[in-house]
Chains A and B, each alone.
Chain A
Amino acid sequence: MKAFNVVDGLVVPLDRANVDTDAIIPKQFLKSIQRSGFGPNLFDEWRYLDHGEPGQDCSARPLNPDFVLNRPRYRGAQILLTRDNFGCGSSREHAPWALEDYGFRALIGTSFADIFFNNCFKNGLLPIVLPASEVDELFRRCEANEGFRLVVDLPAQRIQCPDDGRMIAFEIDAFRKECLLNGWDDIGLTLRHADEIRAFEERRRGEHPYYFS
């Protein structure tokens, strides 16, 4: 997993609530047995005017000029600004894979769906929850100022607005922060406790043998 430290990135505003994982990456792309290559199909049904299928050359497809990611001023964005309940619906990890493959490193919104939120941390993607008033203000500034950037500083747990130096603090679990900062694979971390897991398992097998047949 790619480590996350400080990201200074262009911000794109996706001003809608309840963006579901079917919208982030439609089902036809889930037939892949790979972990990579989903970026060109991120938001496929909103981003293109035609119907997408796996294996297409997306550079030749007609873009929807009204979709915010396609506007030239947001090209190369690394930070996605969004609303409530982003990532709801299916548990498909293809959603964070597609966001990461497109080039996003951080997501800022008022709330994220549980499974999606969890999946982000496994892929070096940082979802940040801020109060609605802060998110409203960021939308306002982002839309008003072309080239609007933010600096996401994970070690300091704050977002800096380079235009006026304003700082916004954010919360993150200590364990998740450490894993992101170091790009750690959590399987390796868990296996350090293999003896404890084995002991638990043996005890459980003794008490509830019917779960182990």
Chain B
Amino acid sequence: MKAQTLYEKLWSSHLVRQEADGTALIYIDRHLVHEVTSPQAFEGLKLAGRKPWRVSSIVATADHNTPTDHWEAGILDPVSRQQVETLDANIRASGALAYFPFRDARQGIVHVIGPENGATLPGMTVVCGDSHTSTHGAFACLAHGIGTSEVEHVLATQCLLQKKSKTMRISVEGTLGRGVSAKDVVLAIIGEIGTAGGTGYAIEFAGSAIRSLSMEGRMTVCNMAIEAGARAGLVAVDDTTIAYLEGKPFAPTGASWEQAVDYWRTLHSDEGAVFDKEVVLDAARIEPQVTWGTSPEMVAPIGGRIPDPATVADPVKREGIERALKYMGLAPNTPIGEIPVDQVFIGSCTNSRIEDLREAAAVVRGRSKAPGVRRVLVVPGSGLVKRQAEAEGLDEIFRTAGFEWREPGCSMCLAMNADRLEPGEHCASTSNRNFEGRQGMGGRTHLVSPAMAAAAAVTGRFCDVRELA
């Protein structure tokens, strides 16, 4: 049999039918639902007199719009409250495998709760009305973000209309240096291939440096596949995957577990499988990364400088850099280490898992918030992460340092709730997007790893976490 890529295996095992022009119907195993992109889909379903096809595929939570403090007061913004209550009502009416509503002990960011509950399993197709659904590809799932019309389509038909993607393999070979994390790897990848480099592709992340990452690290990498333009990121199943899943609430048990693991072990690209594109990176050359502009591809190593647009030949690119520097209030050739920091955000579906909080806490222990830093928010990805962190005493380390320890949610990654930047503020953020206005109108976002964010919080500027040890 022809050697297959992991993507091809996942595609063919979910193919229901295919039209002559390549448009295919793909069966969906897991549908993650949150409050922002689902109300219009449920409404559409109701108006057409349709019912959800298989409610046991649905796992839902409220995360984007929920506050991260004073939970006892409920949701004060009436528009946000109505959206969250609409989700409550829709899920109550339809049913679901699981629902973790606002203030539930297991509530959290949709891309954190899926894996930690074992609702994301290898070999599944996973969709959610959120672009960061690519996160779940870390489990060798074909997982991607969809729009609200597609949410309605999946609710009604359990299928998605899709065309097959091209395949790209990004191999990161070698050993990552001390202080260099999964976030630095994926930012370096985006710096290399650009934010549209993966458009039209499903990216498989491979190589010894990827295999050495924990599941948390692999999720961080796959999470940002979309920032490279790819709807789906993938990592093959190995012992790390299996060990992570064993004993999770929705993972199979007993004979069913054995049967599943036998199948999951086949979820890797075959020897000799051919990809449409191959990219190779040397892990040893990756340094801690900091974005300086308004697109994730505008990134530099901590020891680098902001580029000078005058040296860029392409006019569209040059104007893009000029516009970004004007928005960011930064001058060409400034060393990255001289950029001041006003706020720090540690959280988001990219970096709010227990390992991320441990990495940040390890830097913070025995230090405190720099005087120039107005606020440091630490927002765990879920109720389970929060309790685990508290059991390990991480919350005390953060509080003692003058950081704010919050309730779980998407928070200042997209600033839909009250957590946001003031105009002109620079933020060291462990999130995934540094777009204009993303963290608040006029806010200036710099994407970094949890350790680098912690280092910025205690020094008041971007500094090399490797020099803080």
Count A-side interface residues using an 8 Å CB cutoff: 60
Per the bound structure, the CA–CA distance linking A88 and B37 in Å amounts to 17
CB < 8 Å neighbour of A23 from B130, B319, B437: B437
Q: Closest approach, in angstroms, between the C-beta of B337 and any C-beta of chain A?
A: 26
A76 sits at the interface (CB 8 A): no
B43 sits at the interface (CB 8 A): yes
A92 sits at the interface (CB 8 A): yes
B148 sits at the interface (CB 8 A): yes
Q: Closest approach, in angstroms, between the C-beta of A95 and any C-beta of chain B?
A: 9
Task: List residues of chain B with CB within 8 A of the CB of A8.
Answer: none
Are A193 and B414 within 8 A (Cβ)?
Answer: no
Given known contacts A17-B320, A27-B414, A197-B159, is B37 in contact with A93 (CB within 8 Å)? yes
Are A190 and B157 within 8 A (Cβ)?
Answer: yes
B17 sits at the interface (CB 8 A): yes
Most buried by B among A16, A96, A118: A118
Interface residues of A in 178-210 (CB under 8 A from B): 185-187, 190-191, 193-194, 196-197, 200-201, 204, 208-210
Task: List residues of chain A with CB within 8 A of the CB of B129.
Answer: 91, 93
A145 sits at the interface (CB 8 A): no
Are B433 and A31 within 8 A (Cβ)?
Answer: no
Task: List residues of chain A with CB within 8 A of the CB of B415.
Answer: 27
Per the bound structure, the CA–CA distance linking A18 and B197 in Å amounts to 12
A78 sits at the interface (CB 8 A): no
Are A16 and B319 within 8 A (Cβ)?
Answer: yes
Given known contacts A173-B21, A211-B121, is B145 in contact with A89 (CB within 8 Å)? no
Per the bound structure, the CA–CA distance linking A33 and B46 in Å amounts to 14
Chain A 95-107: CB-based contact to B (< 8 A → 1; otherwise 0): 0100000000000
Task: List residues of chain B with CB within 8 A of the CB of A34.
Answer: 40
CB < 8 Å neighbour of A187 from B20, B152, B252: B152
CB < 8 Å neighbour of B323 from A16, A32, A33, A186: A16
Q: Closest approach, in angstroms, between the C-beta of B227 and any C-beta of chain A?
A: 8
B358 sits at the interface (CB 8 A): no
- Which of these binds chain A: B22-30, B277-285, B299-307, B393-401? B22-30
CB < 8 Å neighbour of B149 from A27, A122, A174, A213: A122
Chain B 241-266: CB-based contact to A (< 8 A → 1; otherwise 0): 00000000010100011011001000
A62 sits at the interface (CB 8 A): no
CB < 8 Å neighbour of B27 from A115, A173, A191, A197: A197
Most buried by B among A28, A194, A210: A210
Are A91 and B156 within 8 A (Cβ)?
Answer: no
CB < 8 Å neighbour of B199 from A16, A32, A114, A191: A114
Q: Closest approach, in angstroms, between the C-beta of B251 and any C-beta of chain A?
A: 8
Chain A 147-185: CB-based contact to B (< 8 A → 1; otherwise 0): 000000000000000000000000001111000000001
Task: List residues of chain B with CB within 8 A of the CB of A23.
Answer: 435-437
- Which of these binds chain A: B77-85, B172-180, B206-214, B364-372? B77-85
Q: Closest approach, in angstroms, between the C-beta of A187 and any C-beta of chain B?
A: 5
Interface residues of B in 186-214 (CB under 8 A from A): 195-196, 199-200
Task: List residues of chain A with CB within 8 A of the CB of B37.
Answer: 91-93
Q: Closest approach, in angstroms, between the C-beta of A87 and any C-beta of chain B?
A: 11
Are B131 and A115 within 8 A (Cβ)?
Answer: yes
A47 sits at the interface (CB 8 A): no
Q: Closest approach, in angstroms, between the C-beta of A192 and any C-beta of chain B?
A: 10
Chain B 423-461: CB-based contact to A (< 8 A → 1; otherwise 0): 000000000010111100100000000000000000000
Are A91 and B229 within 8 A (Cβ)?
Answer: no
Q: Closest approach, in angstroms, between the C-beta of B297 and any C-beta of chain A?
A: 8
Which residue of B is nearest A207, CB measured? B263
Given known contacts A31-B79, A190-B161, is B320 in contact with A18 (CB within 8 Å)? yes
Are A210 and B79 within 8 A (Cβ)?
Answer: no
Task: List residues of chain B with CB within 8 A of the CB of A196.
Answer: 16-17, 25
Are B157 and A89 within 8 A (Cβ)?
Answer: no
Task: List residues of chain B with CB within 8 A of the CB of A15.
Answer: 316, 319
Q: Closest approach, in angstroms, between the C-beta of A76 and any C-beta of chain B?
A: 26
Q: Closest approach, in angstroms, between the C-beta of A39 and any C-beta of chain B?
A: 16
User: Can you add 12 more A-B contacts, CB < 8 Å, to A119-B150, A173-B22?
Assistant: A15-B319, A35-B43, A83-B316, A90-B131, A93-B37, A113-B199, A175-B19, A187-B48, A190-B25, A196-B25, A197-B27, A197-B157
Q: Could you jot down 22 A-B contacts, CB within 8 Å?
A: A15-B316, A16-B323, A17-B320, A23-B436, A30-B36, A31-B36, A90-B131, A90-B414, A111-B196, A111-B199, A118-B146, A119-B150, A174-B20, A174-B21, A175-B19, A187-B48, A197-B16, A197-B157, A204-B27, A208-B260, A211-B121, A213-B252
